[in-house]
Amino acid sequence: MPLSDADEALLLRAVALAHHSIGLSDPNPRVGCVLHTASGALAGEGFTQQAGGPHAEVMAMRAAAAAGQPLAGGTAWVSLEPCAHHGRTPPCADALIAAGLARVVVALADPYDQVAGRGIQRLRAAGIAVDLADAGPARQAAQALNIGFLSRVQRGLPWVRLKVAASLDGRTALPDGRSQWITGPAARQDGHAWRRRAGAVLSGIGTVLADDPQLDVRLVPTQVQPLRVVVDSGFNTPPTAKLLGAPGRVLVVGAQAHAERMAALRAAGAELLLLPGADGRVSLPTLLQRLAANGVGELHVEAGAVLNAALLGAGLVDELLVYTAPKLLGPGLGMAALPALAALDQALVFDFDDCQRVGDDLRLQLRRRGAADFLHGHTVPAVA
Ligand SMILES: NC(=O)c1ccc[n+]([C@@H]2O[C@H](COP(=O)([O-])OP(=O)(O)OC[C@H]3O[C@@H](n4cnc5c(N)ncnc54)[C@H](OP(=O)(O)O)[C@@H]3O)[C@@H](O)[C@H]2O)c1
């Protein structure tokens, strides 16, 4: 049954609160909660804190307690099903039951196998009326906000977002490799806000050697830094690379061991991983599976044409984030060094999702057709 407009609006408020968990709650989902008293007054609001910290429901209950608002007989609107298991924190379903709430409205069921409907069952078993949205804007917004969490839990892969800054004629660097800066300061700041959403930022050794980027989140505030990952088959990342000096963890993933270079990188603070693929380079499917298994939900790719092409060609990119500058650069490097096509119908096809002006540039968001099918219960075959 569709939810009432009032329930939908309060669930949308819960999702808006959940946005504050970006850059904070990873690898846990981004969740918000609104509590009303039995008489319909706002009792408290909250959002999920850092991993191991209180979840949204507990934060909202604390706010209600601090404001002296009674919860017995009241209602909770939560953007994700309350947890039912003892993780690093006790189950939120139990806390809602103990508070004496009469009704809980949920935007989205939690597919995590320790929850997966058990939170709702537990609430119902305790006599609480539970309404779960089966469609509607709040459910959609909760899914979009947690696309990375849902992707890693439901298909064992991160949601891969590939970001490029390009000229109007599709160039991402001059022929000599220089690319700083094609887009303007507003687009760069916006790009950092997208990095902040990610559990990891991925680049290739080509970009590290050409640009010496830091790849951290600097231009917007954040509580946590995403893991920075460089695919670098021969461990050629210089130990003096700027990304090793920036705050946060760095993982260099290679394909052939090289004792001396590996020791130098370890001494410079890098974590190292060997994941050889059949072609002598890093196995990208295995890397993505490893990242998801280690809690990476959204993977933000900022790489050059070679790595971009490898990811796109393997069908591993779910979303494109393209900043287009109103400039023509003439000859230069492209977005992806894909092989020539024999026919137009062999093109990689995406759907436009959003288009916005950011400063002097345009931001285009596109999705690979079918990339989000897993959200609708379709099973996506695991990559080899
Ligand atoms: N405008 C933009 O948005 C933007 C963003 C980033 C970079 N860039 C520009 O891009 C240029 C660098 O591009 P690039 O293509 O040389 O470098 P890249 O795509 O960043 O890195 C490519 C390298 O990654 C390594 N790699 C390891 N495993 C791989 C795999 N399975 N598949 C593909 N590559 C793998 C390969 O080197 P090994 O085999 O030696 O490991 C490969 O040459 C620079 O000019 C930079 O300024 C532009």
Is the C-beta atom of 304 inside 6 A of ligand 1? yes
The domain 5-145: what is its CATH number?
3.40.140.10
pLDDT for the residue 257: 96
302 burial class (0-12, 13-18, 19+ CB within 10 angstroms)? buried
* Ligand 1 midpoint to CA 268 (Å): 22
Is the C-beta atom of 281 inside 6 A of ligand 1? yes
* Ligand 1 midpoint to CA 309 (Å): 9
**pLDDT of 286-298, one tens digit each?**
999 999 999 999 9
**pLDDT of 3-16, one tens digit each?**
999 999 999 999 99
- Its sign, for the CA torsion 148, 325, 231, 350, is positive
The protein residue with its alpha carbon nearest to ligand 1, atom 13, reads: 304
Atom of ligand 1 nearest to the CA of 307: 19
In this structure, the strands spanning 227-231 and 200-204 are: parallel
Atom of ligand 1 nearest to the CA of 284: 31
Is the C-beta atom of 210 inside 6 A of ligand 1? yes
The protein residue with its alpha carbon nearest to ligand 1, atom 17, reads: 206
Q: Which amino acid is at 384?
A: A
Atom of ligand 1 nearest to the CA of 283: 31
CA dist 183 to 56, 91, 294, 297, 338, Å? 37, 46, 33, 27, 23
Q: Is 57 a catalytic residue?
A: yes
Specify the 3-state DSSP secondary structure of 212.
coil
* Ligand 1 midpoint to CA 306 (Å): 5
CA dist 287 to 74, 280, 293, Å? 46, 14, 10
Residue 319 main-chain phi, psi, to 5 deg: -140, 145
Indicate which residue of 8, 57, 81, 302 is catalytic: 57
Digits of tens for pLDDT over the chain (384 positions)? 689 999 999 999 999 999 999 999 999 999 999 999 999 999 999 999 998 889 999 999 999 999 999 999 999 999 999 988 777 777 888 899 999 999 999 999 888 777 778 889 999 999 999 999 988 999 999 999 999 999 999 999 999 999 999 999 999 999 999 988 999 999 999 999 999 999 999 999 999 999 999 999 999 999 899 999 999 999 999 999 999 999 999 999 999 999 999 999 999 999 999 999 999 999 999 999 999 999 999 999 999 999 999 999 999 999 999 999 999 999 999 999 999 999 999 999 999 999 999 999 999 999 999 999 988 863 333 333
Are 204 and 171 in contact, with CB atoms under 8 Å apart? no
- At residue 354's C-alpha, the angle toward residues 352 and 356, to 5°, is 130
Is the C-beta atom of 329 inside 6 A of ligand 1? no
CA atoms within 13 A on the CB side of 14: 36
Tokens of 156: 């064992």
Are 213 and 188 in contact, with CB atoms under 8 Å apart? no
Residue ranges covered by each domain of the chain: 5-145, 149-376
Please give the full DSSP string across 217-268, using - where no structure is assigned: --SS--SSPPEEEEE-TT----TT-HHHHSSS-EEEEESS--HHHHHHHHHT
The protein residue with its alpha carbon nearest to ligand 1, atom 35, reads: 307
Distance CA 103, CA 128 (A): 5
Instruction: Indicate the DSSP class of residue 374.
Output: G
Distance CA 81, CA 182 (A): 43
The protein residue with its alpha carbon nearest to ligand 1, atom 8, reads: 304
* Ligand 1 midpoint to CA 207 (Å): 5
Tokens of 43: 């009792």
Distance CA 284, CA 306 (A): 13
pTM of the model: 0.93
The domain 149-376: what is its CATH number?
3.40.430.10
Q: Which amino acid is at 324?
A: T
The protein residue with its alpha carbon nearest to ligand 1, atom 5, reads: 303
